[in-house]
């Protein structure tokens, strides 16, 4: 038993809440400072989801992942900044102001787990928890030049993660290198009866570069298609070439379902958000509602005042897509497109072991560059959403820079084969050193 | 295409609250996004749509719940173990 004094200066606005003195127990992670994204419940520590509607909300319980962190001896040193409820690709929609990218403070850190990525990239903490609904771990990992893993859906419990789009999202590890990502993943993976989608697949693997020879790596043409910056594409192709030099076999392939993946993702996540976020009504938690007014009047006023524009936009889009007469056009079609993505992965994974491509189509945007045009921001998620739609694991590992800004190599694996993508990322990390 | 009055109606359905001064901006953005969603019209539906997940049922088991006082801690107003909500009628 002990405590960690956390006195790092937060010049990047990476944290919403900082715990200057953080107690910890014994265990394999004894005394390791870990930052936790602010949509993951921490008993006794404010959990806002980056929203004014949960300002001063103190959860009465810990998320499963936080229980596991504490049981392993880790010290939770703070709650990191994020796009409000995870809805964004830049961390600019936080009610607590944007986080800046430690590599270049005129740029966004990516999102929505931008605070966790910046805290790691700036060296404030060695590792952090993020959450990934459509790329929210991998995008900021790529933009900040760190490693981030989106696990298989169900391998990490969502109990205590404030829900935004439950069929897509999950908690995952972020760190400066693959070894630390694997170490943090070994703490948080495992079964939890309180999450009905939890699967019993603990992780106890030490990264190894000895399994790369003969590995079949699929490279879908669609990952290098329209909208992907040629300089980013070239950097990623060079990284894939490095894996070939290590003995991996590169297989050109195609993923036609990618054409509809982004639209399917945004229809699905906004529909789920419109239902999930109905609970934020000012009655049970968050700033108090004016209870003297009538039900609908009070809610409308409360939600207009305390939700940011992107959250209101997504709730309304989802409400519209699910409304009478539109369900077949949007939600049903999105689920068909989602199924096609899963089938495409299954077909490819019958032939290849890992799929590789860029994590993001570009390097980090300038602050403010995308805020006025939501659709252009959504389009940046095109390469990360397929893994969420199919529930397969994916990791982003740094693969050099373009004009001084980090580029991420994305490696996608079969369900519950985090071990394989971690080994591949580790082998690449070793040659790049 | 949706109109400003459609957006105002959706805001009421969603209990989201929208100002007249916001309608033009939201409507413009909605139309750009919905136009993109129209891509989905081209999706070929193979088999039963929406069959991505299946339910697995279990028996209901009574387990300990959170202490009432801890839960009420975050509520605005409470009375005799209940949370006070706005009037419905």
pLDDT in tens, A359-396: 999 999 999 999 989 999 999 999 999 999 999 999 99
Strand A21-24 and strand A33-37: the pairing is unpaired
Domain map of chain A by residue range? 2-260+331-432
Task: Provide, as residue numbers in chain A, all residues whose Cβ is less than 8 Å from the Cβ of B17.
Answer: 299-305
Angstrom CA distances, A64 to A27, A343, B58, stand at 17, 31, 21
User: What pLDDT shows up at residue A16?
Assistant: 98
CA distance A315 to chain B (A): 7
* Positions of chain A with pLDDT under 50: none
Range of the domain at B8: 4-42
User: What pLDDT shows up at residue B88?
Assistant: 81
Q: Which is more confident, B53 or A361?
A: A361
User: What pLDDT shows up at residue A71?
Assistant: 98
CA distance B31 to chain A (A): 10
The total of other beta-carbon atoms located within 10 Å of residue A1's CB is 8
Cα torsion through B84, B86, B88, B89, rounded to 10: 110
State phi, psi for A244 to the nearest 5 degrees.
Answer: -65, -40
Q: Which of A133, A137, A170 shows the shortest CA–CA distance to A155?
A: A170
Q: Which is more confident, B79 or A158?
A: A158
The total of other beta-carbon atoms located within 10 Å of residue A191's CB is 14
Residue with tokens 């659709």: A375
Length of chain A: 433
Partner residue facing B70 (CB), from A60, A304, A332:
A60
Query: B49: pLDDT confidence band, cut at 50, 70 and 90?
Result: low
CA gap A215, A389 in Å, rounded: 25
Inside any domain, residue B24:
yes
Inside any domain, residue B76:
no
CA gap A366, A370 in Å, rounded: 8
Task: Provide, as residue numbers in chain B, all residues whose Cβ is less than 8 Å from the Cβ of A274.
Answer: 14
Eight-class DSSP state of B54: -
CB distance A220 to A261 below 8 Å: no
| Host H or E run for residue A406 | strand A405-413
Q: Which of A300, A358, A272, A232 shows the shortest CA–CA distance to A85?
A: A272
CATH number at A2-260+331-432: 3.90.1300.10
Q: Tell me how many domains chain B contains.
A: 1
Residues 316 through 375 of chain A touching chain B, CB cutoff 8 Å:
316-317, 319-321, 323, 329-330, 332-340, 342-343, 373-375
Query: B89: pLDDT confidence band, cut at 50, 70 and 90?
Result: confident
State phi, psi for A22 to the nearest 5 degrees.
Answer: -120, 120
Q: Where are the alpha helices (DSSP H) in B1-89?
A: 4-13, 20-37, 68-72
Inside any domain, residue B35:
yes
Q: Which of A152, A244, A196, A235 shows the shortest CA–CA distance to A431?
A: A244
User: What pLDDT shows up at residue A244?
Assistant: 98
Residue with tokens 């010290």: A75
The end-to-end CA distance of chain B, in Å, is 35
Indicate yes or no: CB of B74 within 8 angstroms of CB of A284.
Answer: yes
Inside any domain, residue B33:
yes
CA gap A401, A45 in Å, rounded: 37
Query: B80: pLDDT confidence band, cut at 50, 70 and 90?
Result: very high
For residue B50, pLDDT beyond 60: no
B56-76: average pLDDT: 89
User: What pLDDT shows up at residue A87?
Assistant: 98
The end-to-end CA distance of chain A, in Å, is 36
CB distance A64 to A96 below 8 Å: no
């Amino acid at each position: 038993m002990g405590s960690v004094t956390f006195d790092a200066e937060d010049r990047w606005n990476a944290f919403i809440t900082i715990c200057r003195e953080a107690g910890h127990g014994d265990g394999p992670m004894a005394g390791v400072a870990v930052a936790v994204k602010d949509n993951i419940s921490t008993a006794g520590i404010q959990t806002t989801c980056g929203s004014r509607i949960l300002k001063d909300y103190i959860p009465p319980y810990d998320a499963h992942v936080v229980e596991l962190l504490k049981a392993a001896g880790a010290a939770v040193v703070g709650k990191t900044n994020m796009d409000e409820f995870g809805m964004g690709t830049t961390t600019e929609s936080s009610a607590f102001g944007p986080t800046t990218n430690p590599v270049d403070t005129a740029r966004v850190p990516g999102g929505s787990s931008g605070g966790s990525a910046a805290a790691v990239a700036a060296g404030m903490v060695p590792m952090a928890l993020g959450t990934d609904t459509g790329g929210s771990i991998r995008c900021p990992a790529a933009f900040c030049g760190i490693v981030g893993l989106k696990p298989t859906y169900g391998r990490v419990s969502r109990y205590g993660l404030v829900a935004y789009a439950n069929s897509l999202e999950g908690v995952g590890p972020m760190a400066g290198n693959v070894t630390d990502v694997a170490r943090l993943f070994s703490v948080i993976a495992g079964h939890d009866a309180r999450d009905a989608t939890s699967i019993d697949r603990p992780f106890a693997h030490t990264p190894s570069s000895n399994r790369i020879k003969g590995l079949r790596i699929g490279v879908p043409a669609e990952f290098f298609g329209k909208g992907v910056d040629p300089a980013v594409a070239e950097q990623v192709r060079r990284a894939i070439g490095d894996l070939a030099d290590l003995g991996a076999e590169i297989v050109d392939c195609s993923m036609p379902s990618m054409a509809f993946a982004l639209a399917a993702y945004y229809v699905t996540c906004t529909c789920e958000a419109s239902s999930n976020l109905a609970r934020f009504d000012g009655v049970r938690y968050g700033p108090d509602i004016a209870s003297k007014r009538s039900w609908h009047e009070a809610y409308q006023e409360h939600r207009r005042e305390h939700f940011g524009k992107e959250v209101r936009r997504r709730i309304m889009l989802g409400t519209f897509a699910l409304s009478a007469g539109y369900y077949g056009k949007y939600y049903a079609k999105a689920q068909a497109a989602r199924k096609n993505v899963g089938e495409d992965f299954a077909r490819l994974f019958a032939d290849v072991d890992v799929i590789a491509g860029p994590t993001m189509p570009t390097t980090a945007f300038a602050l403010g560059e995308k805020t006025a045009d939501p659709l252009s921001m959504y389009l940046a998620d095109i390469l990360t959403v397929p893994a969420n739609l199919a529930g397969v694991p994916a990791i982003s590992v740094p693969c050099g820079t373009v004009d001084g800004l980090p580029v991420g190599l994305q490696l996608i694996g079969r369900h519950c084969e985090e071990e394989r993508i971690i080994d591949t990322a580790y082998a690449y990390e070793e040659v790049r050193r | 295409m949706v109109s400003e009055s459609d957006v105002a109606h959706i805001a009421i359905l969603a209990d989201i609250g929208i100002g007249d001064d916001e309608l033009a901006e939201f409507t413009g953005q909605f139309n750009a996004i919905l136009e993109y969603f129209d891509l989905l019209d081209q999706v070929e539906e193979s088999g039963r749509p929406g069959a991505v997940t299946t339910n697995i049922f279990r028996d209901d088991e009574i387990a300990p719940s959170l202490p009432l006082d801890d839960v009420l801690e975050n509520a605005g107003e409470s009375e005799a173990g209940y949370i006070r909500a706005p009037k419905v009628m």
